[in-house]
Amino acid sequence: MEVIELKHPLISHKLAILRDKRTGTKEFREIISELSSFLCYEALRDAKLSDVEIETPICKTKGQMLNEDNYAFVPILRAGTGMLDGLISVMPNAKIGHIGMYRNEETLEPVRYYYKVPKDIENREVIVLDPMLATGGSGLDAIESLKKSGAKKIKFLCIIAAPEGIKKIQEKHPDVQIYCTAIDEKLNEIGYIVPGLGDAGDRIFGTK
């Protein structure tokens, strides 16, 4: 599938603030959440709607609604939780799962330490959250774990993506649609996205 890269003047504006090393923790966190809302709107463009009858203050009419119980948001810990509020603001009744990973700084490979998703994950559309799609290792591990649990429709949302990470996921899981607000140039020698925005987790939580 083609990667969906959101293009909008407001997104470009927010990304410039996000990338700036002078941007503080509070503003950084708020922009991550705001961009995540934009990504959620785009990812749900194909959402199935059901006809409903409602009554306005004027009269009865018909509308369309989606079933929020059909969705699950799964952030990759810890940075992915920074995106969660943005999606919950759009769809507050979706179920939440968590996949805990950290990156081995020598091998750059993900190490999983926690995995908890809704029991009926096979009946839901799953949206995986991770601000940075860099080497693709964490995303790949998360997708494979979710498929082993029975998930059939998975989308991957990130703020910044590197070509290397995109390629890895597309080669292994071409059925997973990737959504991002920017595709950056490359990875550097230690696996960070260039130009990127640094370590998203550290900047979200103010730990560096």
The 10s digit of each residue's pLDDT in 168-186 is 999 999 999 999 999 999 9
68 close to 94: Cβ distance less than 8 angstroms: yes
Q: Are 199 and 25 in contact (CB under 8 A)?
A: no
Q: Does 103 score more than 90 pLDDT? A: no
How confident is the model over 27-44, as a mean pLDDT? 96
What b/e string do you get for 164-193 counting C-beta neighbours within 10 Å, with b at 16 or more? Answer: ebbebbbeebeebbbbbbbbbeebeeebbb
**Euclidean distance between CA atoms 99 and 133, whole angstroms:** 15
* The pLDDT value given to residue 104: 76
Distance (Å, whole) CA 89 – CA 37: 7
Q: Predicted confidence band at 32 (pLDDT cuts at 50, 70, 90)?
A: very high
Q: Which of 20, 25, 69, 107 is catalytic?
A: 107
**C-alpha–C-alpha distance, residues 36 and 10, integer Å:** 13
pLDDT above 70 (res 108): no
Percent of the chain with pLDDT over 70: 99
Q: Is 69 a catalytic residue?
A: no
Q: Kindly state the average pLDDT of the residues 95-103.
A: 89
Mean pLDDT across the stretch 175-204?
Answer: 94
pLDDT value at residue 31: 97
Where exactly are the structural domains of the chain?
4-205
Backbone φ, ψ for residue 128 (5° rounding): -90, 140
Q: Is pTM, for the whole model, over 0.75?
A: yes
CA dist., res. 108 & res. 117, Å (int)? 25
Record: fold of 4-205: Rossmann fold (3.40.50)
Phi, psi of 39 (to 5 degrees): -65, -40
Average pLDDT score over residue span 134-141: 92
User: Is 103 one of the catalytic residues?
Assistant: yes
| Active-site residue, selected from the candidate residues 29, 78, 103, 112 | 103
Q: Say if residue 98 is exposed, middle or buried (CB neighbours under 10 Å; 0-12, 13-18, 19+).
A: middle
Active site residue 51: no
Mean pLDDT of 20-34: 96
